[in-house]
Structure 1
Amino acid sequence: MEADAAAGRQSGRTVNILRYLATPRWFGWLALVLVLAAACTALGLWQLDRRDQAAATVNTVQANYDRTPVPYSPEFFEAFEENAEWTPVTLVGEYDSAGQRIVRNRPLNGRPGYEVLVPLKLKDGTAVVINRGWLPIGNDQAGRPDDVPPAPDGEVTVVARIRPAEPALDRSAPAGQLASIDLAEYREQLGYPVSTAAYGLLASETPAPATAPVAPAKPAIDLGPHLSYSMQWFAFGVLLFVGLGYAARQQYLIDHEDAGAPPVPARARRRPSSEEEEDAILDARGL
C-alpha cells in the first residue's frame, strides 16, 4: 500500500511538472535547445562524413601507392577515376622545358614554396603534365624560387603517380606561374593537346638528373580525429536536453516551495508608551 501511494505521489508530481512546462516560457527554451541540438547533430554527421572520406583516401593509398608501375594508357589522365589515384604509371617521352610552370602557394611541412610542372610529350602527339616536385621560396627575388633544376633533355622514362587536376582559383599568377594545378588553363597557355583530367606526380626519372626538386613524401596513413569529434558533438546535443530538464526541475521546485511556504504573520501593533505620546504632542505643536 505504501509503495502504491509513493508511486501515486511520484506520478502526480510528474504530471504537475509537465503542466508547469507547458507554458510559452519553457516552450521557448525547448525550441532553442532543439535548434542547438540539431546543429550539434549536423556537425557530428559532418565529422563522420569527413572520416569516411579520410578512410577512402587511406584505402586508396594503401591499395595503389606501392604497386608495380603499369604501362601508360590515355584514359588514366583523360578521365580520372578515384580508385586509380596514386597508381604508378610508366611513361616515355620528352619534356617540354619551354612549357615549364611553377605553381604558387604550395607549402611543405609548414614551409612555403612552389611546385614545378613540366609537360611530357608522348609519341602519340599528346602530353601529360608531370609534377616534378617542390621548391622553397627564393631569397634573391620575391615571388620566385632562386633556382629551378632543369628537366632531363631527350627521351626520358618517367614513373609518376596519378593525381586529379585541381579547380581554377579566383586569382591570377605572374607570367610563368599558375595559381593552382588547373590543367585546362595550362593547356590553353601551351597551345597543344594536354590531358586535363589528371597529372602525374613524379616518382622517378631515367636518366636521373644531377639535381631535382624535392620529391613528395608518401601521404600519411591517418584517419584523423574525426570520430572523436563527432562523438563530442553528439554528446553536446544530448547534454543540452539533460541541462534543460535539470534547470526546469530545479525552477519548478523553487517556485512551488515559494508558493507553499506559510505566510509571514503580521507584527502586532504595540501601544506607544507615555513618553512616546508626549513626544508626539510636542512635535505636533512645533516645540
Structure 2
Amino acid sequence: MKFRLVPVLLILLVVAVTVRLGFWQRSRALQKEALEAQITQFEHGPAQTVGAVPVPLKQIEFHRVKARGSFVADKVVYLDNRPYNDQPGFYVVMPFKLASGGYVLVNRGWLPRNMNNRETIAPYTTPQGEIEIEGIARADASRAFELGNGGSAAHQPIRQNLDTAAYAAETGLPLQPFVIQQLSDDGDKLVRDWPAPTNGVERNYGYMLQWWGMALAALGFGLYAARRAAKKQHAPGV
C-alpha cells in the first residue's frame, strides 16, 4: 500500500501539535493545582501583622494577616454589582488607619442593595476607636466587568471597581499595595461568606481533553483515508 507523502506529513503534524497542546494544558492545570494548595496553606497559616512598612503584594497575597487600628468611615467606597445568593448588593471597602502608621484598604463584607433605590445604602455599623481585624491579603477588593470607567470614576462613593494605587493617589493616603479581605466579625451586620478563589483548573483539563480528542480524530481520519486509498488501488480495473 502506497502513501502520499504530503497528506501523511500533514496528518502527523496535526497529531503532533494537538498532542503537544494537550500536554501543555495538563502542565498548566498541574501548576494551578500546586498554587491552589499553596494558597490553602497560606490562608490557614499564622496571621502576619500588617504595619507601617509597605509589604510587596507578591510576598503577602493570600496570606492570613491581622492589623490594629481604626476605620476611616468618611472615605468608604461601595463596590456595585456584587451579588450574594442571587441577591444584588455591594462590597463595603474602607481605609483602615494602622496604629503603627500608614493605611490599608479593607473589604469589610457584603451589603444588600435597596431594591427601591439602588443608591440607598442599607444600614450597617462601623466600630469606633481602635480595634484589631483579621483577614486574607488580596490583590484587590474583587474585580467586576466594566466598560470604560464603568462607574469607577474618582470621588464617587458607589463604584464598579477600585484600584488601590489610584485610590491612594486620589485620597493621599499612604496605602499598603494590597487589600485585606476581612474575616473577623465585629458585629457590623455585613456578610463575609467570601467566594473561594478560582483558578480555572477544570477549564485547562477540558482543553487538554479537547486537544487530545482532536489528535485522535486526525489520526483516525488519516487511517480511514489510507484504507480508502488502498481499496481503490486494489479495485478491479484500477
TM-score (norm 2): 0.78
- In 2: Cα distance, 1:163 partner to 1:93 partner: 19
Tell me which of 8, 16, 22 is aligned to 2:5. 22
| Unpaired segments ≥5 residues, structure 2 | none
Instruction: Decide whether aligned partners of structure 1 residues 226 and 130 sit closer, same or farther in structure 2, where only a CA change above 3 A counts.
Output: same
Instruction: Decide whether aligned partners of structure 1 residues 234 and 69 sit closer, same or farther in structure 2, where only a CA change above 3 A counts.
Output: same
* Cα offset, 1:223, TM superposition: 8.2
Tell me which of 135, 158, 178 is aligned to 1:177. 158
- Counterpart residue number, 2:134: 159
Instruction: Decide whether aligned partners of structure 1 residues 188 and 160 sit closer, same or farther in structure 2, where only a CA change above 3 A counts.
Output: same
**2:230 is equivalent to residue 253 of structure 1:** yes
2:76 and 2:93 in contact (8 A); partners too = yes
- Counterpart residue number, 1:187: 168
- Counterpart residue number, 1:199: 179
Identity of paired residues, percent? 19
**AA of the residue aligned to 1:253:** A
Instruction: Decide whether aligned partners of structure 1 residues 198 and 119 sit closer, same or farther in structure 2, where only a CA change above 3 A counts.
Output: same
- Counterpart residue number, 1:71: 49
Summarize deviations over 1:67-95 as a string: whole Å, max 9, x none. Answer: 333332345x541125x333232211111
* Cα offset, 1:213, TM superposition: 1.3
* Cα offset, 1:40, TM superposition: 6.3
Q: Comparing 50-59 with 123-132, which one deviates more in the overlay?
A: 50-59
Q: How does 1:1-287 map to 2 (within 5 A)?
A: 13=1, 17-18=2-3, 21-22=4-5, 26=7, 31=10, 34-35=13-14, 38=17, 41-42=20-21, 45-46=24-25, 48-61=27-40, 63-74=41-52, 78-81=55-58, 84-142=60-118, 144=119, 146-165=121-140, 170-173=148-151, 175-195=156-176, 197-205=177-185, 208-209=186-187, 211-217=188-194, 219=196, 224-226=201-203, 228-258=205-235, 260-261=236-237
**AA of the residue aligned to 1:87:** H
**AA of the residue aligned to 2:196:** P
- In 1: Cα distance, 2:151 partner to 2:195 partner: 28
TM-score (norm 1): 0.67
* Cα offset, 1:217, TM superposition: 3.6
Instruction: Decide whether aligned partners of structure 1 residues 160 and 74 sit closer, same or farther in structure 2, where only a CA change above 3 A counts.
Output: farther
Count of aligned residue pairs for this structure pair: 232
**AA of the residue aligned to 2:13:** L
Other structure's SS at 2:57 match:
coil
The list of structure 1 runs, each at least 4 consecutive aligned residues, that deviate by more than 6 angstroms after superposition, is 166-169, 220-223
* Cα offset, 1:35, TM superposition: 4.8
* Cα offset, 1:219, TM superposition: 2.7
Bigger relative CO (Cα 8 Å, ≥ 6 apart): 2
Q: What is the aligned-residue RMSD (CA, Å)? A: 3.3
- In 2: Cα distance, 1:86 partner to 1:60 partner: 6
| Unpaired segments ≥5 residues, structure 1 | 1-12, 263-287
* Cα offset, 1:129, TM superposition: 0.6
- In 2: Cα distance, 1:163 partner to 1:220 partner: 10
- In 2: Cα distance, 1:22 partner to 1:31 partner: 9
